């Protein structure tokens, strides 16, 4: 039994004294304990060694006492497991030397073997659960099919992922074949994560906001819904289609338990679109963590009263930035913990 299951309660929509809090990218980056491991081991060693990955997963719980842990891993283990080389270039980001260009490339991608290639993730989950010792829930995750396609086609990070989008628009059938293949593996992958012990699953669609509403329906939503339909009986799901403000209303009717939003969506807009059908996660601008701790506290209390304390998971609208002082991150977490409804 979990000692703190606020996150699960919020995902079930139960009324709470205060909302739960965690931060995207909370494991890594700004923590000196993480930097110590980063100096010794390269990125994929940190991801693939279950002892290291689980240590990094637990670090923010030990030092900041969040209401949830999220597995330290990467969304690009999926293309890697399917057979594509993925390099992580420090301070620059991912690089895939061979990208997907045609049907033969897509046909060559593996699915069943890929799940076996991902055993290090399931092991990291098992060890993380042991180390967490039921303190808080563990969140597993995967990239959304559209976002994974973006990297598979483009081969690296990009401001607008023009090549990936051009592939979708000019090779529509191939794009859907690829998306369907990624979706199939993602479902198997997340089922195995849940079997290994994660309590919640988040789907990161980091680049869906580059699509028009109609293209989002076609290239992103279809596959997000397949995933949520397959998994919602097994664990609560958080969908995070970053930037896709226009999709809120429709996704609030899905089988997901929560939708993550960024700071461009006001509490009023989010609640009006979703009519309290679904829990909202978000949406503090990570840049505001540069402010003094007392201002962060004031903002967080305002955020909670704007959204209302129920059906809310307090989080950032994007990952925490690497140079945020620890005391500012602590101020964010503690502001949620000290929230008292004043009405």
Between residues 157 and 197, which has the closer beta carbon with respect to a second copy? 157
Q: In whole angstroms, how close is the CB of 268 to a second copy at the nearest point?
A: 9
Task: For residue 74, indicate whether it is catalytic.
Answer: yes
Q: In whole angstroms, how close is the CB of 324 to a second copy at the nearest point?
A: 10
Q: In whole angstroms, how close is the CB of 285 to a second copy at the nearest point?
A: 6
Task: For residue 271, indicate whether it is catalytic.
Answer: no
- Do 277 and 292 contact (CB within 8 A), yes or no? no
Task: For residue 29, indicate whether it is catalytic.
Answer: yes
Angle at 111 between CA 228 and CA 150, to 5 degrees: 65
User: Which candidate in 34, 151, 223, 339 is catalytic?
Assistant: 151
Between residues 13 and 157, which has the closer beta carbon with respect to a second copy? 157
Task: For residue 135, indicate whether it is catalytic.
Answer: no
DSSP for 55-101, please give it.
Answer: HHHHHHHHHH--S-EE----TTHHHHHHT---EEETTTEEE-SS---
Q: In whole angstroms, how close is the CB of 108 to a second copy at the nearest point?
A: 25
Compute φ and ψ for 133, nearest 5 degrees. Answer: 50, 45
- Does residue 162 sit in helix, strand or coil? helix
Task: For residue 25, indicate whether it is catalytic.
Answer: yes
Angle at 255 between CA 253 and CA 260, to 5 degrees: 80
239: left (phi over 0), alpha (psi -120 to 50) or beta: beta
Between residues 145 and 243, which has the closer beta carbon with respect to a second copy? 243
Residue 200: strand pairing partners? 139
Between residues 39 and 214, which has the closer beta carbon with respect to a second copy? 214
Between residues 134 and 264, which has the closer beta carbon with respect to a second copy? 264
Q: Provide the 10 A C-beta neighbour count for residue 85.
A: 10
In the complex, the residues that contact a second copy under the rule CB under 8 A are 159-160, 162, 165-166, 169-170, 209, 211-215, 243-246, 263-266, 269, 285-288, 290-292, 318, 321
User: Which candidate in 5, 67, 74, 299 is catalytic?
Assistant: 74
Altogether, the residues listed in the chain come to a count of: 343
Catalytic residues: 25, 29, 38, 74, 151
């Amino acid at each position: 039994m979990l000692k703190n299951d606020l996150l699960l309660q919020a995902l079930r929509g139960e009324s709470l004294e205060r909302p739960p809090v965690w931060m995207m990218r909370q494991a890594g980056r700004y923590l000196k304990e993480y930097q110590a491991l980063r100096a010794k081991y390269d990125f994929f060693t940190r991801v693939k060694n279950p002892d290291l990955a689980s240590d990094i997963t637990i670090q923010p719980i030990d030092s900041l006492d969040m209401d949830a842990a999220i597995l330290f891993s990467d969304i690009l283990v999926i293309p890697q497991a399917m057979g594509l080389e993925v390099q992580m270039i420090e301070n620059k980001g991912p690089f895939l030397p061979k990208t997907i260009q045609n049907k033969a490339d897509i046909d060559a991608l593996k699915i069943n073997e890929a799940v076996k290639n991902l055993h290090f993730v399931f092991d990291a989950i098992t060890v993380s659960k042991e180390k967490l010792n039921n303190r808080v829930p563990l969140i597993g995750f995967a990239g959304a099919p559209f976002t994974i396609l973006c990297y598979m086609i483009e081969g690296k990070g990009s401001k607008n992922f023009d090549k990936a989008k051009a592939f979708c628009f000019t090779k529509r059938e191939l794009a859907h074949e690829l998306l369907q293949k990624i979706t199939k593996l993602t479902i198997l992958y997340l089922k195995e994560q849940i079997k290994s012990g994660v309590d919640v699953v988040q789907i990161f669609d980091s680049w869906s906001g580059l699509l028009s509403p109609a293209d989002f329906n076609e290239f992103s939503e279809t596959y997000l819904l397949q995933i949520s339909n397959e998994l919602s009986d097994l664990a609560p799901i958080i969908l995070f289609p970053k930037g896709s403000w226009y999709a809120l209303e429709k996704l609030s009717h899905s089988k997901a338990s929560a939708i993550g939003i960024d700071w461009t969506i006001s509490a009023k807009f989010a609640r009006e679109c979703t009519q309290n059908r679904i829990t909202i996660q978000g949406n503090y601008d990570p840049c505001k963590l540069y402010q003094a701790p007392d201002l962060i506290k004031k903002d967080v209390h305002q955020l909670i009263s704007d959204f209302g304390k129920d059906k809310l998971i307090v989080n950032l609208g994007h990952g925490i930035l690497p140079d945020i002082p620890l005391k500012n991150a602590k101020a964010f977490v503690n502001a949620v913990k000290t929230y008292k409804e004043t009405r």
